[in-house]
Every structure is written in structure tokens, then in C-alpha cells.
């Protein structure tokens, strides 16, 4: 019985004299990787940056589609290969011209 009472008394005394508070400011605030968590969490989002990222993603996928064209060259008819490759590249250039004409590639207004 004494072996249970003495450790409980020691734990209670340690908790009473502890310097830690239950509502410690640092522990109750969220971890924000060095940023002040008390300021506004919302920052203005640049829609133009998003459009550039989407354009990059689309052209990145299209480059992945262009790479196998070189391998197909060996096994296909040269005329069909040339027409299909030129059509694909013209579609890409048409999309690039449209984006350029709409001003989507300009960084600053």
C-alpha cells in the first residue's frame, strides 16, 4: 500500500510545483513552419500563376506524347507519319497562339 501512496504523492507534488501551465501559449498554437500563426492564414492567390502552371502541365503532357513519334517513324509509312506529326504540332502551335493572343503568357499587367 505504501508503494502506491508514496509515488502518487510525489507525482502530485511535481504537478503542483511544475512551471508548465495547462494553457501554454506555445503548445496551444499550431505549428506553421516558422510563420506567425496569429496572422491571416489566407494569402491572395495569383490566378495568372495558376494559368501558367496549367499551361505548363498541358505542354508537358504533350511533349510526352511527342517523344514516341520518333520510335514510330521506323515502323510506319513516311507519308502518314509526316501528316499526323504535322497535324499534332499544328494543334500545339494553334493552342500556343491562342494563349498568347489572349494574354495568358504575360507575367505582369
pLDDT tens, 16-58? Answer: 777 665 566 666 666 656 655 566 666 667 777 777 788 788 8
Q: Which three cell numbers stand for residue 68?
A: 514516341
Residue 93 domain flag: yes
Residue 11 domain flag: no
Count up the domains in the chain and report the number.
1
Percent of the chain with pLDDT over 90: 9
Residue 59 domain flag: yes
Residue 106 domain flag: no
The predicted model gives 89-93 an average pLDDT of 88
Instruction: Judge if pTM exceeds 0.85.
Output: no
Tell me the residue range of the domain where 52 lies. 47-101
CB 46 within 8 A of CB 68: no
Residue 15 domain flag: no
Amino acid at each position: 500500500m505504501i508503494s502506491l501512496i508514496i509515488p502518487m504523492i510525489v507525482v502530485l507534488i511535481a504537478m503542483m510545483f511544475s512551471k508548465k501551465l495547462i494553457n501554454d501559449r506555445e503548445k496551444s498554437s499550431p505549428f506553421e513552419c516558422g510563420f506567425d500563426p496569429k496572422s491571416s492564414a489566407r494569402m491572395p492567390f495569383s490566378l495568372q500563376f495558376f494559368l501558367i502552371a496549367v499551361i505548363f502541365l498541358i505542354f508537358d503532357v504533350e511533349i510526352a506524347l511527342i517523344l514516341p513519334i520518333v520510335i514510330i517513324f521506323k515502323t510506319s509509312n513516311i507519308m502518314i507519319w509526316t501528316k499526323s506529326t504535322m497535324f499534332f504540332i499544328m494543334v500545339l502551335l494553334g493552342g500556343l497562339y491562342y494563349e498568347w493572343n489572349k494574354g495568358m503568357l504575360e507575367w505582369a499587367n
